[in-house]
Amino acid sequence: MKQFQRLAAFITACALLTGTAAVLPYEPAPAAAAVSAAEAVEAAGIVYTLYADHAEVSRYTGESAAVTVPGSVRGVQVTAVADGAFAGTLVRHVELPESVCRIGAEAFAACERLVVCTFPDALTDIGRDAFRGTFWLNKQQKTGEPVTAGHVLIDASKCKGVVRLSEGITAIAPYAFSGNTALTGVRFSNGLKEIGEGAFSGCTAIKQLSIPKSVTKLPAEMCAGCSAMLGLILPDTLTEIGAGAFRETALEYLTLPESITDIAPETFSGCGKLRGFTGMNVKRIGARAFAGCSLLSSADGVCNAEEIGEEAFAGCTGLQFFTETAMLRIIGPGAFRNCTGLHSVVLYEAVAEIGDEAFAGCTGVGEFQVFSVFPSFGKNVLPDSPELTLYAYEGTSTMKYGEEAGVQILSLGEIYRAKPGDANGDTALSVEDAQLVLKVYTERLAGRAYSLPDALETAADVDEDGALTVKDAQYILRFYTETVVAHNPVGWQDILDME
């Protein structure tokens, strides 16, 4: 608790100096009591799974063609039909209670005789292929209109042209439009809240989508393979884009909302027409996120990224230069593999880890400058270029790596020896150094790895206790306040003695 109080006090002090609002860190609440173990109960041919606060229909073993699911079992409300619960059975008529809000994947799949199914108004979540192969779905598809169940659009594979969603639709089921090559567009309603995985995948005639503000997350594979999609408008309310959401589309330019901080794996992979993108608040770029985007000429669109994942830009043959910012710490294995158009690479001080073959196959690189003090190198990191010249500081791991690799090396001069408190290595002590130490501390406290080059780790550990803590951040902030703000010529020992 004392540690948390120190942390809160420090953030408040930072806010006073920088003029920003203080946001206190999350203090974990005591763990909630575990839900009691599930219990299987059978009644009238319906097997239920009972939990402490709800029940689910887990499977149907009866022989009756007409099934009415009760609203509760043993006093517990029935809220869902589980995956595959009725799959392959001979049911013809199913009536669900108003309490059911979810139907799982393939719940009624291959129920060839299913003619009628009554849906509750509370239904907002339906899994993939829930009604595949049923008479009921086949009949609905023949109308050429979107098929709905409750407030969920479950199938539009037979629709043509532009589909307009009614205001009552709050969700689109997984793969609802998938493979529809006659679909040219979708007009979303403002009531839409959720879009299922792969909802528009393989819809090769869609040219543009405009996502409404009511949607905050886009699922994996949402528009994968929409090879004609040129335009995409994303709302500023968006917080998450799933893996492979727009892979192999025809997008040319894209601006990500400031609310997006992560680009998931393969999000834009294979977008052969993508020329530029902007994501100013993106911190992490997932594996193969832009792999194969051959017309992409610059990675400046994610200038604040801290981590670039495995093969994130692999095969981006149009990429000409890569100059990262002071934020980048980790470059994953093969991150820029086979970027044959790349001719210049500049890595700054914060880079702590460069993965195996990060720049392998980059045959056109001439200058490779590394300003980081002691980064960790994987195997075969450097480009396969006959014109390669490595720029490095004397006595660093980069210089040693280049010598062992047998490449031409030019010295950047004597290494900068970070002074106490200079956590970011920019030669000037400031509030940013204290904030960086605090960030490292909170990340490690949460169990997430956050590495600094050895020299900067040592400089940041001003009390020399072998760990970066809130105290180090407080000492740095206090030293900055005394020497820079108050112009009081104190030394580090004076600051440490103030404890």
Q: Which two tokens stand for residue 159?
A: 């629709």
State both tokens at 119: 């849906």
Q: Which domains does the chain have, with CATH numbers?
A: 40-142 (3.80.10.10), 420-497 (1.10.1330.10)
**Cα distances (angstroms) measured from residue 302 to each of 89, 143, 161, 331, 358:** 52, 46, 36, 14, 18
User: How many separate helices (H) and strands (E) can be counted in the chain?
Assistant: 7, 33
pLDDT score for 4: 44
- Stated pTM of the model: 0.77
Number of Cα atoms under 13 Å in the Cβ half of residue 431? 13
Identify the CA nearest to 218 among candidates 249, 233, 240. Answer: 240
Reported as a single tens digit per residue, the pLDDT across 344-388 is: 999 988 888 999 999 999 999 999 999 887 788 999 999 999 999
**pLDDT of amino acid 1:** 45
**Sheet architecture: strand order including 344-347:** 321-323, 344-347, 367-370, 389-392, 408-411
Residues 6+ apart with CB under 8 A from 232: 208, 209, 210, 211, 223, 246, 249, 251, 254
What single-letter amino acid sits at 254? L
Mean residue pLDDT of the chain comes to 88
56 within 8 A of 80, measured Cβ to Cβ: yes
- What whole-number distance in Å separates Cα of residue 429 and Cα of residue 476? 8
Amino acid 417: pLDDT: 67
Give residue 305's Cα distance to chain centre.
13
Residue bearing tokens 């097997």: 47
Q: What gap in Å lies between CA 97 and CA 48, rounded to an integer?
A: 14
Residues of the chain with pLDDT under 70: 1-37, 324-326, 415-417, 499
Predicted pLDDT at 427: 72
| Predicted pLDDT at 415 | 64
* pLDDT for 26: 34
With a CB cutoff of 8 Å and minimum separation 6, the contacts of 436 are 423, 424, 460
- For residue 420, the one-letter residue type is P
